[in-house]
Amino acid sequence: MIAEAGLAALWFAAALALLQLAMAGLGLWLKQDELIAAVRPVAIVQGLLAALSFGLLVTLFLQSDMSVLLVATNSHSAKPLLYKFAGAWGNHEGSMLLWVTVLALAGAAIGLIERKLDRATLTATLGAQAFIAIGFYAFLLTASNPFARLSPAAADGMGLNPLLQDPGLAFHPPTLYFGYVGLSIAFSFAVGAMVTREVGPVFARAMRPWVLAAWVFLTIGITAGSYWAYYELGWGGWWFWDPVENASLMPWLAATALLHSVNVLAARDGLRAWTLMLAVVVFSMSMVGTFLVRSGILTSVHAFAVDPTRGSFILVLLAIYIGGALVLYGARVGRVKAGQGFDLLSREGGLVLNNLLLSVILGIVLIGTLYPILAQAMGQQLSVGPPFFNKAAGPIALALVAAMMVGPLLKWRRDDANALLGKITVPVAVSAVTMALTFVIAGSIGWMELVGLGLAAGLAVASFAPVWKRNPLRTPMFTWGMMVAHFGVAVSLAGMAADSAFTSERLVAARYGQPYYVGPYRVVLNGVAPTIGENWSAVEGRVTASRGPVDGPMILLRPQRRFYSSPPTDTAEAAIATRVDGQLYAVLGTQDAEGRWQLRLWWKPFVTLIWFGGGLIALGGALSLIGRVRRARRNVKRWEEAW
């Protein structure tokens, strides 16, 4: 009964989305106030029904109801409770239902709390949101029904991909989805504004918190995903430029650009057409990402739920939504007034530079990701890997960081070159000194690593400038947010550069009791023993590591090779010891004929800064969001009276 109820709720939600679109469209066209007034409640009920449907799917997974096809193929009764729960979205159908649920709930949230937009634009926005939702409802109901029954019921399920059995990954997809789908709101706002031609500061201020919120989730999702890949795949790297990773990075780059350009529109009424364009691009990138991951036209280590039929369906949705928005853009933006002008040397100019650099990086990632498809179309087979991305995107990312040192110090509209030089003396000096010291101490490291470390130090100092000598209580919360986020970028960059420049790696055929050396550590494999977990068995290496004197304190590392029975898979579980100045990372391989164990060891100085910085970036975004929302609330009363 639960499955049928879930399916019914999904059908009702789809019907309401259709109604929402019709009422918004007709209401605006015929200027019928009654129709327009009903759009908000319909959006709210639609969100609730979608949430109900998803809740029922989760219930089915928690009950291990093996008469439901999706549960039987993706869960197992012996699975730990957390993964039964996560199993609900660790598959194609469930994740699409989660996607549409977040979409509908976002629409409901707009209906419930949005107070800044004028009535017509809000109605058009909700119409656009319903229009997007309809496509995904149709996808679920016709091509990937999550509630399909299995008759006769299975005796037990087939389990969840063991790689996904990790607490980090259980919550990784929902976080990313909140980000991806949150960006659909920016898209709907842009469509709404293009329909009513109300593109100005009010629109930008209304859109900004939604973009911020989506961006915070996306940042957390990418950071967590990167750490997951780092410790779960056992390859010792934190970013692989894999198509699936790029699928999450591209919307983040676009959203970061949008976040900054929307500030220009909100504060100075500039960059109107560009901001609209970015809002369309942002959502396009999250849909292109979904498409690439689901269609199987790119090969990826993470690829799952690969199916060309589903790919075609998403491609059609992509064509309708993005194509439609771009047609609207071409037809309408010409008549949107250009907005205010500004000097080249100004905060606006800095933000334009930021946008250009981010767009170039986005273009590089997009081209690099799609190039194998283009080459294939021309009859060549190739893949584009880290060397291309690092070489092409790295220098531009460094230029972006250099721009970040200067940008926040600029004044709106126009600034004075001499005043600016005065303000950036300290950060530039810090950068130069850091580079010189690193060069003296470390000697020959790559120029990108050297410049990266220098810029990280300079940016870390510069990011404090906007709050320097200000009364901390009177400094707006979003200024603090910007400071924290920019400081986070510096921290992350320092981690990346340090990892890339100073990592030491060893691959040894280890004999018991024999010492091997990696970085400052002396590592000994003392033995390998079998061990067992909730739904896996493993062989576990007992590795001790010490630095400094031989009788110094020991770290015990336990890297494992795990065997999961359902489905039969083996995984390598890396053992990682975190210290203040870095991580020691050990992976156990196979045993050779002479009884030696393959042991891969890394010493990664300051690698944790990468994810710590990512966390700070997200925290900065959250602080800004709180600041914006608090300030906006003061103005809400006026708007409520107008409604």
Choose one: 215-223, 376-384, 400-408, 547-555; the region binding other proteins (CB under 8 A). Answer: 376-384
User: What is the closest distance, in whole angstroms, from the C-beta atom of residue 151 to other proteins in the complex?
Assistant: 32
Amino acid in the structure at residue 442: A
Select the residue interacting with other proteins from 334, 472, 549, 553 (CB under 8 A). Answer: 334
Nearest residue to 139 via CA among 99, 107, 108, 177: 99
Nearest residue to 53 via CA among 9, 1, 107: 9
Nearest residue to 406 via CA among 359, 350, 342: 350
User: What is the closest distance, in whole angstroms, from the C-beta atom of residue 109 to other proteins in the complex?
Assistant: 29
Amino acid in the structure at residue 609: L
Under the criterion CB under 8 A, does residue 312 sit at the interface with other proteins? yes
Under the criterion CB under 8 A, does residue 327 sit at the interface with other proteins? yes
Under the criterion CB under 8 A, does residue 333 sit at the interface with other proteins? yes
Residue with smaller CB distance to other proteins, 10 or 292: 292
Select the residue interacting with other proteins from 323, 385, 422, 446 (CB under 8 A). Answer: 323
End-to-end CA separation in angstroms for the chain:
42
Under the criterion CB under 8 A, does residue 330 sit at the interface with other proteins? yes
Q: For residue 580, what are the contacts with CB-CB under 8 A and spacing of at least 6?
A: none
The DSSP annotation for 108-130 comes to HHHHHH--SS-HHHHHHHHHHHH
Under the criterion CB under 8 A, does residue 319 sit at the interface with other proteins? yes
User: What is the closest distance, in whole angstroms, from the C-beta atom of residue 383 to other proteins in the complex?
Assistant: 12
User: What is the closest distance, in whole angstroms, from the C-beta atom of residue 297 to other proteins in the complex?
Assistant: 5
Under the criterion CB under 8 A, does residue 15 sit at the interface with other proteins? no
User: What is the closest distance, in whole angstroms, from the C-beta atom of residue 125 to other proteins in the complex?
Assistant: 21
Residue tagged 């039964």 (tokens): 84
User: What is the closest distance, in whole angstroms, from the C-beta atom of residue 259 to other proteins in the complex?
Assistant: 20
Choose one: 196-204, 224-232, 369-377, 562-570; the region binding other proteins (CB under 8 A). Answer: 369-377
Per-residue contact string for residues 268-307; x = within reach of other proteins by CB under 8 A: -----x---x--xx--x---x--xx--x-x----------
Q: Is 419 exposed, middle or buried (0-12, 13-18, 19+ CB in 10 A)?
A: exposed
Under the criterion CB under 8 A, does residue 167 sit at the interface with other proteins? no
Under the criterion CB under 8 A, does residue 322 sit at the interface with other proteins? yes
Total residues at the site for other proteins (CB under 8 A)? 31
The whole-angstrom separation of Cα 634 and Cα 255 is: 27
Token pair belonging to 375: 């080459």
Residue tagged 């001499």 (tokens): 418
Nearest residue to 485 via CA among 360, 616, 377, 603: 616
Q: For residue 67, what are the contacts with CB-CB under 8 A and spacing of at least 6?
A: 3, 149, 150, 151, 153, 154
* Dihedral sign (CA 223, 227, 230, 232): negative
Residue with smaller CB distance to other proteins, 83 or 291: 291
Under the criterion CB under 8 A, does residue 568 sit at the interface with other proteins? no
Residue with smaller CB distance to other proteins, 335 or 469: 335
Residues 525-554 that bind other proteins (CB under 8 A): none
Under the criterion CB under 8 A, does residue 326 sit at the interface with other proteins? yes
Q: For residue 337, what are the contacts with CB-CB under 8 A and spacing of at least 6?
A: 272
Residues that bind other proteins (CB under 8 A): 273, 277, 280-281, 284, 288, 291-292, 295, 297, 308, 311-312, 315, 318-319, 322-323, 326-327, 329-330, 333-334, 338, 370, 373-374, 376-377, 381
